[in-house]
Amino acid sequence: MADIFDVLADGTRREILRQLLETRGELAVGDLVSELGVAQPTVSKHLKVLREHGLVGVREEGQHRYYHLDASPLEEIEVWLEPFTDFTVATDENGATTVYAAWAGAEVGDRIGRTAAQTANAARVAFETAQEKIEGARQRVTERLPKLRKGER
């Protein structure tokens, strides 16, 4: 199960699956390259991963390969997720549904996650800058200390 989540974690692979779903048929690698705006070797690499995990099937015709969606591995995820999504749709006093509330919560969580990552990065940069300044000050003091002991300025 963890492997399939790792596969689906990549945005390019999810977009490939979305394109194949919307087509409801087959797409050539060149079509996916055009739709995604990604280099052909990158698309081929992602298609290989999707193929290895059974999410896409391929039909070869001469030099061309035509890919189609195979959703059967996703059914296993659906079964696994079902207990987490078993809820009734209720409406609050403002008319908002629990589905909207869950979506809004996910959006807020995404923003909080991004903000936390940006803050952590800013703190790391500030800490590294402070360390560099401290090291520079330590070096200047070390260089001046013998001169100060001799009475020089």
Residue 55 confidence (pLDDT): 93
Which residues are bridge partners to 133 per DSSP?
none
Burial class (CB in 10 A: 0-12, 13-18, 19+), 4: middle
End-to-end CA distance of the chain: 70
Q: Which two tokens stand for residue 32?
A: 């996916």
pLDDT in tens, 104-133: 555 656 666 677 777 777 777 788 888 888
SS3 131: helix
pLDDT in tens, 60-110: 999 989 999 998 888 888 888 888 776 555 555 665 555 555 555 556 566
pLDDT in tens, 3-58: 888 888 899 999 999 999 998 889 999 999 998 899 999 999 999 999 999 999 99
Q: Indicate yes or no: pTM above 0.95.
A: no
